[in-house]
Amino acid sequence: MADNTAYYGAYLPLVVMLVVGAALVVAMFAGNRLLRPTHATREKLLTYECGVDPVGEGWAQHHVRYYVFAYLYVIFAVDAVFLFPWATVFGGLGWVSVGEMAVFIGFIAVGLVYAWRKGVLTWT
């Protein structure tokens, strides 16, 4: 338990920082509230669309191709989780460990090559 206390103790300043930071933001906007004018008119609160009245809703439909990038990211995001712990110890494990990691990342890289060859990275 004693070791754990020291370990978590290192994160105490982070908690303090978050609290103080949040207080800082609150103070900034409280100052803003005291100093600012408020003259809301219907026109001013209208959604901005280059100076003309907005057409339809702001939450419009969008092209699906962005979706593919999310998939590509998920392919790789997993390997970063394994890569960092491995990075600190592999020097002592030698070539076998490097080979294993190469196989692992190689599998993932095949996914990228597949997407590349499928042409999802090129728009026309």
Partner 1 sequence: MPELLEVLVRVAIVIAAFLVLPLIVGQIEHKTMAHMQSRVGPMYAGAFHGWAQLVADGVKFVQKEAVVPAAADRQVFKLAPAVAMLPYLVAFLAVPLGPGLVGQDLDLGLFFVLAVMGVGVVGTLMAGWASANKFSLLGGIRVAAQLMAYELPFVLAAASVAMAAGTLSLLGIVEAWNPWWLLWQLPAMVVFFVAGLAELQRPPFDMPIADAELVFGPYTEYGGLRFAVFLLAEYAGIVLLSALTAVLFLGGWRGPFEEQLGWLWTLAKTGLVAFVVVWIRVAYPRLREDQLQRLAWQGLVPLALFQLAITAVGVVVMAS
Largest CA distance in the chain: 70
59 binds partner 1 (CB under 8 A): yes
Give how far the C-alpha of residue 115 lies from the chain's centroid of Cα atoms, to the nearest Å.
22
Of 81, 71, 83, nearest in space to 111 by CA: 71
- Give the nearer residue to partner 1 in terms of CB position, either 2 or 37: 37
107 binds partner 1 (CB under 8 A): no
Pure H helices in 1-124: 2-9, 12-35, 66-93, 95-118
104 binds partner 1 (CB under 8 A): no
78 binds partner 1 (CB under 8 A): no
What is the rounded distance in angstroms from the CA atom of residue 34 to the CA atom of residue 23?
A: 16
Of the residues 1, 3, 5, 32, which one makes contact with partner 1 according to CB under 8 A:
32
Task: Name residue, tokens 């592999």.
Answer: 90
Residues that bind partner 1 (CB under 8 A): 10-14, 16-18, 20-22, 24-25, 28-29, 31-33, 35-40, 42, 44-50, 54, 57-60, 62, 66, 69-70, 72-73, 76-77, 80, 83-84, 87-92, 94-95, 98, 101-102, 105, 109, 112, 115-116, 121-123
